Structure 1
C-alpha cells in the first residue's frame, strides 16, 4: 500500500479525524467539539528549554495518513501544554480498524519519532485502551512500558431508582453545605474555587507538571459559552469552598462525565467527597441522564472505594505507556 503522511488541514480533515477519535473514545466526539477545543489552543507552537536543557513550552503538530486516492487511513499527534512536565511529549496514533496491519501505524509512528528527536524530548507518553491488545503490543515492541492504569467506571442511573427522594448524606460538621457554582456568582468566589482546583489537583496520583494558571482555567471552564455552572457541585464551610465535583454533559449519549473531584486536604475524612458524589447522582437522576462516567488512577484507592460503594461498575480504561528517550 502507498501511504502518504501529511500535516492535518483544518477544518477540511475534521470529519475524518472525528471518526478516528470515536474509534478509541469513551464518548462520541463531534466536529463542533473538536473545533471548540482547537479554538483554545494556539495554532503555532512555541517550544523552549529550561535551565536544565529540558523541553518546555507548547506545541501540537498533527498528521494524517492517507492512501494514493486521498482516503484517510489514520491520524497522529504530539503535544505538550505550557504547564506539562519538562521534557515530556504526549503522543497518539489512531488507525482505521479496517486498515490495521498494513503499515499505517508504523508510518505515523515514524513521523512521531522524527519529531520527538527533532525537539529533543526526554520522555514520551502514549495512552492506550486497556482492551486493545494489538495497540498494547505495538507499543511494548517499541520499548514502551506501562507507567499507570487509568481505570474507567460507569453508573447506570436506571439502577438508582428512587434517588430523587434520597436524603442528603449528613456531614460530620453541620456548618458544611452543598451548593452549585450557579449559586455563587462573582469572580472573588471563582478565584477561591480555582485555588481549590489548583491545590487538590496536585494530590492526584500520576499528576505531573504544573496546574494551568487562572486565566487558562477560566478559558477552559467558566468562560466557555456552553459551560453549565449548575453542574459544578461545591461543598462550602461558610463561604469557603472546601470540595468540588465537576460534571460535563454529553447530550448525544444523555450522560454526564465526572471530570474532577477534589477536597481540601484539611477537610478530608469527613464524608465530603461522598456527599458531593451522591449529589451528582441526584442531579443526573433529576435531569434524566442515562449514566455517569468517571476515570480514576489505579493508585487513587480512596476515590475508587467511594465510587464502588455508590454503584459505579468498571468498564475499559487506559494504560499510560511511557518511554525514555535519554
Structure 2
C-alpha cells in the first residue's frame, strides 16, 4: 500500500490486516566524483565472479540467513538453498560481478548485491548484509562505494533501492552516500 494512501491502510487494518513492513525507496546518482572507499583492516573486496572463497554461494546463503532476521520488517525465513539460489543468484538482471563481497581470509563477512534493470543506465540494489561482529566498522558503506564505482565504470548512472523504514543503520549509510528518499509503501498481511 503506497504511503499516500493512509485512508486505505486504515480500512485494511480495520479488516484484520497488519503492517509487517514499511519500505521506503531511495535513489542515488552515480558520478565520477564518488569518494574512494575506506580500507577496512583485514578485508579484501572481491565479487562473486572473482572470489576464491570456498563454497561462496553457500557462504552467501548462510550470511543472508544470519542477517535477515536483523532487518526490521522481514517476516519470512529464507527458502531452501536451491530456491534461494535461483531467486538471489539467477534470473533477469543478475550479474555475478555486481555482487560485491567483503572477505576476511576466505570467509565472506559482507555483501552488497546489485541487479541490472531494463534501463541500461540504472541498477537496483537488492540487498546489503554485514555479519554482526563486523558491523560498525564502515563495511556496508565501503562495499556500497566499491559497488557504485564499479557500476559507474560499467555505464550505470542511477541506483535504486528499498529499505525498511525502521532500518536506521542502512538509512544512514544510504544518506551518507547521497541516496535521496522517494515514495514508500506498506506491506500488509492477514492471517486466514
Question: Pairwise CA RMSD of aligned residues?
Answer: 2.4
CA 1:275–1:254: 2 relative to 1, 3 Å = same
Between 1 and 2, higher relative CO (CA 8 Å, sep ≥ 6) is seen in 2
Tell me if 1:311 matches 2:175.
no
For 1:167, the equivalent position in structure 2 comes to: 36
CA 1:256–1:223: 2 relative to 1, 3 Å = closer
Identify the match of residue 160 of structure 2 among 281, 293, 304. Answer: 293
Tell me if 1:209 matches 2:80.
no
Larger radius of gyration: 1
Indicate the SS of the match to 1:182.
Answer: coil
Indicate the SS of the match to 1:321.
Answer: strand
How far apart in 1 are the matches of 2:45 and 2:130? Answer: 13
TM-score where L is the length of structure 1 = 0.54
TM-score where L is the length of structure 2 = 0.87
CA 1:280–1:223: 2 relative to 1, 3 Å = closer
Q: Which runs of 5+ in 1 are unaligned?
A: 1-127
After TM superposition, give the deviation of residue 144 of structure 1 in Å.
3.8
For 1:75, the equivalent position in structure 2 comes to: none
Identify the match of residue 3 of structure 2 among 127, 130, 145. Answer: 130
- Count of equivalent residues: 192
Tell me if 1:283 matches 2:150.
yes
How far apart in 2 are the matches of 1:143 and 1:130? Answer: 19
After TM superposition, give the deviation of residue 143 of structure 1 in Å.
4.8
For residues 26-80 of structure 1, the C-alpha deviation after alignment (integer angstroms, 9 at most, x for no partner) is xxxxxxxxxxxxxxxxxxxxxxxxxxxxxxxxxxxxxxxxxxxxxxxxxxxxxxx
Tell me if 1:266 matches 2:133.
yes
8 Å Cα contact 1:284-1:292 kept in structure 2: no
Q: Which runs of 5+ in 2 are unaligned?
A: none
For 1:155, the equivalent position in structure 2 comes to: 28
For residues 152-176 of structure 1, the C-alpha deviation after alignment (integer angstroms, 9 at most, x for no partner) is 111122xx3423xx423121x2x21
Indicate the SS of the match to 1:207.
Answer: coil
